[in-house]
C-alpha cells in the first residue's frame, strides 16, 4: 500500500542495528526521500535543553516539537541537520543527546506532535523512513516494513567504532550500559514501543555487512 499515493519503506530497529546506514544507502540508490525520525526526537531534546524545558513539561515539549524548524540536506552530507537555521549535525549525534531523546520519546504529546511532521515526509517519488515505530504507528500502510536487529554486543561495538572515528572518547563498557538502558526504555514505553510490526520482515545484521543487508531489502522491494 502507499501513503497518499507515495511508496514508503519503513525500517525500524534498535541503536546500532545498522538501520541508519542501510536507510541512507537505500534512499540514495532509489533516489527517494529519507526520514531520519531519530533526528527529530534528538532535535526536540536539544531544543528543550537550550530553552530549559524539563521532562515534566509535556506541553512545552510538544509545542517545541511542532514549532521547531528542522532541515536535512542529505545530498550534501547524509547526516547534516539544521535546527532553526543552525547547523546541529555534530550536536545531535552525541550520546547525551540520544539518551535525552529516548527519555523525551516516552511523552505521548511529543510523539503526537512529531507524528504529524513525520507523515509529511511522504512525498514523491518515495520515502525511506528510519526509526522505532515507522512500521507500527507512523506508516502502518507502508508497502515494505523491515525490522533490523543485531546482538547487543555487536551493536555496542559498532556504535563504539563510529564514535571513536568521529573523535569522541567513550568506553565500550559504558556504551554497552547506555545502549542497554536505551533499549529497555524504548522497548517498554507505553506509547509506540520499539517492536517489529506484525507484517515486518525481520533481518538480523549481527554477522552481515551493510551490503548483505541492502541486498535482501532491495529484493523484497522489487
Tell me which residues touch ligand DC (CB under 6 A). Answer: 15, 37-38, 41-42, 98, 101-102, 105, 131-133, 182, 186
Cell of 59: 506541553
Least distance between ligand DC and beta carbon 81 (Å): 11
Least distance between ligand DC and beta carbon 113 (Å): 13
Least distance between ligand DC and beta carbon 139 (Å): 10
**How many whole angstroms separate alpha carbon 27 and alpha carbon 137?**
21
| Location of C-alpha cell 540514495 | 28
Which is nearer to ligand DC, 33 or 182 (by Cβ)? 182
Which is nearer to ligand DC, 32 or 41 (by Cβ)? 41
Q: Residue number with the shortest CB distance to ligand DC?
A: 38
Please, where are the H alpha helices in the chain?
A: 19-30, 37-51, 58-67, 89-92, 95-104, 108-119, 152-165, 172-188, 210-221
183: left (phi over 0), alpha (psi -120 to 50) or beta: alpha
Which is nearer to ligand DC, 68 or 222 (by Cβ)? 68
Least distance between ligand DC and beta carbon 37 (Å): 4
| Location of C-alpha cell 541512507 | 24
Which is nearer to ligand DC, 48 or 219 (by Cβ)? 48
Amino acid at each position: 500500500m502507499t501513503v497518499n499515493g507515495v511508496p514508503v519503506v519503513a525500517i525500524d530497529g534498535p541503536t546500532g542495528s545498522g538501520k541508519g546506514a542501510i536507510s541512507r544507502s537505500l534512499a540514495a540508490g532509489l533516489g527517494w526521500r529519507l526520514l531520519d525520525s531519530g533526528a527529530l526526537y534528538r532535535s526536540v531534546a536539544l531544543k528543550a535543553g537550550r530553552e530549559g524545558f524539563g521532562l515534566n513539561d509535556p506541553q512545552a515539549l510538544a509545542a517545541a516539537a511542532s514549532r521547531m524548524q528542522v532541515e536535512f540536506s542529505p545530498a550534501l552530507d547524509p547526516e547534516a541537520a539544521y535546527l532553526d537555521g543552525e547547523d546541529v549535525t555534530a550536536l545531535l549525534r552525541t550520546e547525551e543527546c540520544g539518551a535525552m531523546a529516548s527519555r523525551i520519546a516516552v511523552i505521548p504529546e511529543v510523539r503526537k506532535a512529531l507524528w504529524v511532521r513525520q507523515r509529511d515526509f511522504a512525498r514523491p517519488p518515495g520515502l525511506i523512513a528510519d526509526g522505532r515505530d515507522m512500521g507500527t504507528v507512523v506508516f502502518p500502510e507502508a508497502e515494505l516494513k523491515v525490522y533490523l536487529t543485531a546482538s547487543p554486543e555487536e551493536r555496542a561495538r559498532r556504535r563504539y567504532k563510529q564514535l571513536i572515528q568521529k573523535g569522541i572518547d567513550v568506553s565500550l563498557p559504558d556504551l554497552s550500559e547506555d545502549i542497554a538502558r536505551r533499549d529497555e526504555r524504548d522497548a517498554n514505553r507505553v506509547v509506540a514501543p520499539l517492536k517489529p510490526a506484525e507484517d515486518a520482515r525481520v533481518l538480523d545484521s549481527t554477522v552481515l555487512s551493510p551490503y548483505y543487508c541492502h541486498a535482501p531489502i532491495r529484493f523484497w522491494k522489487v
